[in-house]
Structure 1
Amino acid sequence: MAKSLTLRALTRPEQRVLAAKLKDLSLSARIYQRYRVIEEVRQGRAMTEAADRVGCHFTVAYDWVHRFNDSGFSSFEQVSNPKGRPPILKAEQ
């Protein structure tokens, strides 16, 4: 059985960042969703319930809580693959 994951306590600066990001209307939906996952879990919701409320799979919510526990919000707005998918065909083809 998988080990349950709990959200670590947020520092005051992290709480301010979270509150500001949840009010920021210029964030993309995907990035906003990451901050919402943290807020839902912080409010005491189970990972599956938080994922349902945010609209993602529970494994996605689990990954973002794990990432937050490791490095805070520093990686939340980084693009995972900024160059996109590598081309399958070469330029000569």
Structure 2
Amino acid sequence: MAQHLLVAADRYNLERLKLICEDKLCKRIDVSSAATTLALAEQHRCPSLKKACMDFLYSPGNLKAVEATDGFEHLATSCPVILRELIAKLVAL
């Protein structure tokens, strides 16, 4: 539900609600939600949520598990720039 509220909050410029939703989503990042949450963060300009997702994905074990999800395919097609950014940061590590 927080994802839908975040979209509405962004659409209607309800910044406080948007921040609350970001905070809730940051606490619930896991293998099944990381890729779709990252796409959501990118599409709705949520820098703290994007950072939390990227930090989760920086772990090689997490990245490999997320790559096997349908959400990763969605991320690749909807936000290819994010994948390039993720790869660049992983190469730099």
After TM superposition, the score normalised by the length of structure 1 is 0.29
After TM superposition, the score normalised by the length of structure 2 is 0.29
More helix, by proportion: 2
Q: Which has the larger radius of gyration?
A: 1
Report 1 or 2 for greater relative contact order, CA contacts < 8 Å, sequence distance ≥ 6.
1
